[in-house]
With several copies, the nearest count.
Chain A
Amino acid sequence: MSTIEERTDPIDVAAVKADFPLLAREIKGRPIVYLDSAATSQKPRSVIEAMTGYYETINANVHRGVYEIAEASTNALEDARAATARFIGASSPNEIVFTKNATEGLNLVARSWGGANLRSGDAVLLTQLEHHANIVPWFQIAAEKGVEIRWIPLTADGKLDLTDLDRLLDGVKMVGLSAMSNVTGTLTPVRRITDAAHAAGALVSLDACQFVPHLPTDVAKLGADFASFSGHKMCGPTGIGVLWGREALLDAMPPFLGGGGMILDVSLDGWIPADLPAKFEAGTPPIAEAVGLHAAIDYLSGIGMDAVRRHEVTLTGYALRTLRERFGDQITIHGPSEPAERGGVMSLAMEGIHPHDLAQVLDEHAVCIRPGHHCAKPLMKVLGVGATARASFYVYNDETDVDALAEALDAAAGFFSF
């Protein structure tokens, strides 16, 4: 049973924290301070138990079984699909394709839609803050088809520079757009871009990896045509992602992977693909993972995505203030300065300390942050760095975590100043 149904704003973070078994751990004798949710989130007990329960009581392959647990397993998968559709405002469960991760969803769009619709001379427009997952698949199909890749540049504070948007959109058939940067936390003006793209005759494939876990999502309002995200960043398990697409678009697209479950008929002479969503789900789907994702959606819905967002805005504001006050010029925090314009992800640079070294010292203090290029090398180049030290927050973090981060940064500054 969830203990969070009755919670009202603000979130009772202590109670939330208690729902996550890993957060009770100690690292090197100190309570863990987990600030790497942009890489993957921790999992509440209800999610772990849902999967255990699945394996212990109804584990069976789906779709073709008549016996009781096979039917229960099929229903569990389809209930998860329906819950996912509701969670993001999709107009039908048929619009929800379960993938292995967000990356597969983004590739599916590039290969299936791009393969069928892109022609030599067409252009695809990306932003310079995209994750490699929304870049490399477009490079791949572009090389095959002779398609031009263009880039929306960034402003000095890490926002999209839309000055030239209309010119950039000329001849563009698809826009690859991250709804929120996993490096700077920048929230992009999705609706403005989807409107402009549609006006220019282009579609938009949204990388919603960092968005869906943290903000209330309504794909209709965002105006996108496709959106991809991962279960593991939203309190769900590894091994599952979601591709949402407008039904008419998905319907018209050729299948991607071939195999069991995605066919209507196969003979020695050829084959006929199945209808949505089966068409895009070749092979045994991530069934237990879908059950886990469903539990994660229930968990987040129990808190309320509005409350999650408000909590993160408040905490991000507190973190920005704390770090600026305490470290002044010694620290650079990349990205927009206003909490309302960003998510709870911040890339830090400490004067004279490489991010990798910073993370190493922080680990001694049980503070888990991530150094590196965060799979966004083009953005690194814009920021003029090889790597950043990224701290990211979620619903289970609170001010004590920010304080612990500040303490550990202080220790690192001391360690490297001798």
Chain B
Amino acid sequence: MPGLEDLYREIILDHYRNPRNRGELEAPPATRVEGFNPLCGDEIVVYLDVDDDGTIADIRIGGQGCSISQSSASMMSAAVKGKTVREVQALTRAFKGMMSIHESSLDGEADADSEAAEEAAADEVRLGDLEALRGVVKFPVRIKCATLSWNTLAQGLAEAAEAG
């Protein structure tokens, strides 16, 4: 049986208490996207500044929510800042692959996610600190908390690409 320490790793609580890149960017020129977790009320706002050469020049995080959603957003912001959009896409696939549950999935996402996992493996992406969130998989209800910021980021990148 998974214990709380599988979920609330030290580094997660650290990001929760001291969130990185917290704040806002003026939008426009930056891109602003909101994400909701309709089940628990978590809200994430991602502000993105993508360079002309496709690099994430700056990122800020707003919103509120539980330790998992907030620390995941914080860790994400640290992980993607300065990376190219392509690199971020590979990282997103890797992260969502890690978050996939291979038991019967709630909404058919699992298959897509496990494909993502394989692609990510092919990308040979290093997750680094993000590995700390691996324990979330043992608490399926919380997976959406951990992926909310990444889904919001993906939407933001799509919007930034359209706008640019």
Answer whether residue A45 sits at the interface, using C-beta atoms and an 8 A cutoff: no
Contacts of A356 in B (CB 8 A): 40, 42, 65-68, 142, 145
Quick one: closest B residue to A63, CB to CB? Answer: B39
Contacts of A79 in B (CB 8 A): 104
The answer to whether B41 and A360 have CB atoms under 8 Å apart is no
Check B4–A364 contact: CB distance below 8 A.
yes
B140 neighbours in A (Cβ, 8 Å): 71
Which residues of chain B in 106-161 are interfacial with respect to chain A, using CB atoms and an 8 Å cutoff? 106-108, 139-142, 145
Query: Does B107 lie within 8 Å of A386, measured CB to CB?
Result: no
Q: Once the chains bind, are A93 and B39 in contact (CB under 8 Å)?
A: no
A387 part of interface (Cβ distance < 8 Å): yes
* A373 engages B104 (CB within 8 Å): no
Contacting residue for A372 out of B4, B36, B40, B104, CB 8 A: B40
- Asked if A13 is at the interface (CB within 8 A of a chain B CB), the reply is no
Which one of A71, A74, A78, A386 has the greatest number of beta carbons of chain B within 10 Å? A386
A interface bracket (residues with beta carbon within 8 Å of B):
35 or more
Closest beta carbon of chain B to A111's beta carbon, Å:
23
Decide: A386 and B4 in contact? CB cutoff 8 A.
no
Taking a contact as CB atoms under 8 Å apart, the answer to whether A82 and B104 are in contact is yes
Q: Is the CB of A354 within 8 A of B65?
A: yes
Contacts A75-B106, A355-B66 given; indicate if A360 touches B40 (C-beta within 8 A).
no
B138 to chain A, nearest CB (A): 12
Q: Chain A's nearest CB lies how many Å from the CB of B1?
A: 7
A64 within 8 A of B: yes
Within 8 Å of chain B (Cβ to Cβ): is A377?
yes
Q: Within the complex, what minimum Cβ distance (angstroms) separates B63 from chain A?
A: 8
Count of B interface residues, CB-CB < 8 Å? 28
The residue in chain B whose Cβ has the minimal distance to the Cβ of A412 is B4
| CB pair A373 B107 closer than 8 Å | no
Whether, in the assembled complex, B64 has its beta carbon less than 8 Å from a beta carbon of chain A, the answer is yes
Chain B residue contacts of A66, Cβ below 8 A: 141-142
CA distance A286 to B6 in the complex (A): 34
Q: Which residues of B contact A380 (CB under 8 A)?
A: 41
B43 near A386 with CB under 8 A, answer: yes
Contact of B108 with A94 in the complex, beta carbons under 8 Å: yes
Given the complex, which residues of A lie within 8 Å of B64, measured CB to CB?
386
Contact of B38 among A78, A274, A371, A415 (CB under 8 A): A274
Docked complex Cα distance between A357 and B40 (Å): 11
**Contact yes or no, B4 A78, CB < 8 A:** no
Which residues of the partner chain B approach A264 to less than 8 Å between Cβ atoms? 36, 38
Q: Which of chain B's residues has its CB closest to A277's CB?
A: B107
- Please measure, in the bound complex, the distance between the C-alpha atom of A355 and the C-alpha atom of B39, giving whole angstroms: 13
- The reply to whether B4 and A371 form a contact with Cβ atoms under 8 Å apart is no
User: Is residue B7 contacting chain A, with contact meaning CB distance below 8 A?
Assistant: yes
In whole angstroms, what is the CA distance A113 to B80 when docked?
42
A56 at interface, CB cutoff 8 A: no
Q: How far apart sit A311 and B7, CA to CA, in the bound complex (Å)? A: 38
How many angstroms from the CA of A354 to the CA of B66 in the assembled complex?
Answer: 5
Measured in the bound complex, the distance between the Cα atoms of B3 and A33 in whole Å is 19
Q: Of all chain B residues, which has the CB nearest A356?
A: B66
Task: Decide: A354 near B43, CB < 8 A? Known: A93-B107, A364-B4, A415-B4.
Answer: no
Q: Mark B1-30, 1 if CB is under 8 A from A, else 0.
A: 101100110000100000000000000000
A361 in contact with B4 (CB, 8 Å)? yes
In the assembled complex, the CB of A415 is this many whole angstroms from the nearest CB of chain B, namely 7
Instruction: State A62–B37 Cα separation when bound (angstroms).
Output: 15
Q: Which residue of B lies closest to A273 (CB)?
A: B38
The answer to whether B41 and A386 have CB atoms under 8 Å apart is yes
Smallest beta-carbon distance A58→chain B, Å: 14
Closest to A372 in B: B40
Quick check: is A92 within 8 A (CB to CB) of the other chain?
yes
- Distance of A265 Cα from B68 Cα, bound (Å): 21
Which chain B positions have C-beta within 8 A of A92?
108
Question: In the complex, which residue of chain B has the Cβ closest to the Cβ of A370?
Answer: B40
| Residue ID in chain B nearest A62 by CB atoms | B39
User: Is the pair B1, A265 in contact by a Cβ cutoff of 8 Å?
Assistant: no
Q: Output the nearest chain B residue to A66 by Cβ-Cβ distance.
A: B141
- Cα distance A93–B108 in the bound complex, in angstroms: 7
Are the C-beta atoms of B107 and A377 separated by less than 8 Å? no
* In the complex, chain A residues whose CB is within 8 Å of the CB of B139: 360
Q: Across the interface, which residues of A come within 8 angstroms of B36, CB to CB?
A: 264-265, 272
Residues of B within 8 A of A416 (CB): 13
A28 interface residue per 8 A CB criterion: yes
A71-B141, A265-B38 known; 14 new pairs, CB 8 Å cut-off, are A64-B40, A66-B142, A74-B106, A265-B36, A272-B36, A274-B38, A278-B38, A354-B65, A354-B67, A356-B67, A356-B142, A360-B142, A371-B40, A386-B43
What are 23 A-B contacts defined by CB distance under 8 Å?
A: A63-B39, A71-B140, A71-B141, A74-B106, A75-B104, A75-B106, A78-B104, A79-B104, A93-B108, A278-B38, A356-B40, A356-B68, A357-B68, A360-B7, A360-B139, A360-B142, A361-B4, A371-B66, A372-B39, A373-B40, A387-B41, A415-B8, A416-B13
Which A residues form the contact surface with B (CB < 8 A)? Answer: 28, 63-66, 71, 74-75, 78-79, 82, 92-94, 263-265, 272, 274, 278, 354-357, 360-361, 364, 371-373, 377, 380, 386-387, 415-416
Residues of B participating in the A interface, judged by any CB pair closer than 8 Å: 1, 3-4, 7-8, 13, 36, 38-43, 64-68, 70, 104, 106-108, 139-142, 145
Closest 5 CB pairs of A and B: A356-B66, A373-B41, A354-B66, A387-B41, A386-B41
